[in-house]
Amino acid sequence: MIASLEMAPEVAARFDRLKQRPVALEVKGLTKHFDTPKGTVVALEDLSFSVHKREFTCVIGPSGCGKSTLVRILAGLETPTGGEVLVGGNPVQGPGPDRGMVFQSYTLFPWLTVKQNVMFGPQMSGASSTSAEGEARQWIDLVGLSRFENSYPNQLSGGMKQRVAIARALANQPKVLFMDEPFGALDAQTRASMQAHLLEIWKSVDITIVFITHDLDEAVYLSDRILVLDANPGRFREMVEVPVARPRTPEQVFEPSFKAARHHIDHLIHPPGKVEAETPVLRMVKHDPDVV
């Protein structure tokens, strides 16, 4: 099901244009089972959706819905139990240069400088040192770290490390960039800055982005569409078309369209009447009526 919230004519027209683009990523009947000592766990079940070229899609859902498992399968880092993933019409059968990946943790090589980290991919693909260095400098410029190209990861802040990780992933010129909660470990101020920076990068590069997040505001702020998953097992719930105009600005969080999208997604993830599991409480002091 695709949900179309009320949107302005110019936003609706943008979605019409988006749907005319080629499909960059297609997922068909994806299923993933894990065998455990307690039996088989179904992480994903019969999941199907598609993402268009240069679309920014976020994936969100409750804990246990299989978001990270999904993105690892899409990137070719895990094998599905059933179904298939196509990138540019070609089946995914393992990691490949047509896909880039940015993780939540800082996965840079600590013994390499910023420039050397970004050069790594092109060099592994056969580029000469001179060519790889020139290519790396372009991506380092794009993420705004030219002054730090000779710095090592331990000399960078968390946000800067993730910018290097993005540059390193883009240096291989993938068709699709997968991002698994890349800003989850950052403080709120740095996270907001990185979100804005990512949108600027996305506008400047011919890339399709699939972004995993648990943050409702982040999903609405970044994406064209939001894939909402159910949990236990992870199933397709709804594909939500975000009715917020582009370019995005922080002030849009106060607009009715932003609030409506956020409320709709929150309703999907936490439906009214659903009873949440109670957290057991162990009281370490005697009851004080003034402390509630």
The edge-to-edge listing of strands for the beta sheet with 176-180 is: 2-4, 235-241, 225-230, 56-60, 208-212, 176-180, 99-102
Residue 198 lies in a domain: yes
Same domain (yes/no): 182, 247: yes
Helix (H, G, I), strand (E, B) or coil at 28: strand
Facing residues of 229 across strands?
Answer: 236
Same domain (yes/no): 211, 161: no
Residue 188 lies in a domain: yes
What is the model's pLDDT at position 161? 93
Residue 282 lies in a domain: no
Q: Helix, strand, coil: what percent of the chain each, to 5?
A: 35, 25, 40
Same domain (yes/no): 18, 159: no
Which of 125, 143, 173 is the C-terminal boundary of a domain? 173
Same domain (yes/no): 81, 165: no
Same domain (yes/no): 164, 180: no
Beta strands in the chain (DSSP E): 2-4, 23-36, 39-52, 56-60, 82-87, 90-91, 99-102, 176-180, 208-212, 225-230, 235-241
What is the model's pLDDT at position 246? 93
Same domain (yes/no): 56, 94: yes
What is the model's pLDDT at position 41? 87
Residue 278 lies in a domain: no
Which of 157, 173, 189 is the C-terminal boundary of a domain? 173
What is the model's pLDDT at position 286? 73
Residue 104 lies in a domain: no
Which residues have C-beta within 8 Å of that of residue 164, sequence separation ≥ 6? Answer: 108, 114, 117, 118, 140, 143, 145, 153, 156
What CATH number is given to the structural domain containing 254? 3.40.50.300
Residue pLDDT, tens place only, 104-156:
887 899 999 999 999 999 998 899 999 999 999 999 999 999 999 999 999 99
Same domain (yes/no): 182, 143: no
- Residue 97 tokens, joined: 């240069």
- Cα atoms in the 13 Å half-sphere on the side-chain side of 50: 14
Q: How many CB atoms lie within 10 A of CB 29?
A: 12
Same domain (yes/no): 123, 234: no
Same domain (yes/no): 6, 28: yes
Residues of the chain short of pLDDT 50, as ranges, are none
Residue 210 lies in a domain: yes
Which of 158, 173, 188 is the C-terminal boundary of a domain? 173
Residue 280 lies in a domain: no
What is the model's pLDDT at position 36? 84
What is the model's pLDDT at position 240? 95
What is the model's pLDDT at position 39? 83
Same domain (yes/no): 56, 14: yes
Same domain (yes/no): 136, 265: no
Same domain (yes/no): 113, 165: yes
What is the model's pLDDT at position 125? 87
Q: Which domain holds residue 165?
A: 109-173
Residue 123 lies in a domain: yes
Q: How many domains does the chain have?
A: 2
pTM of model > 0.85: yes
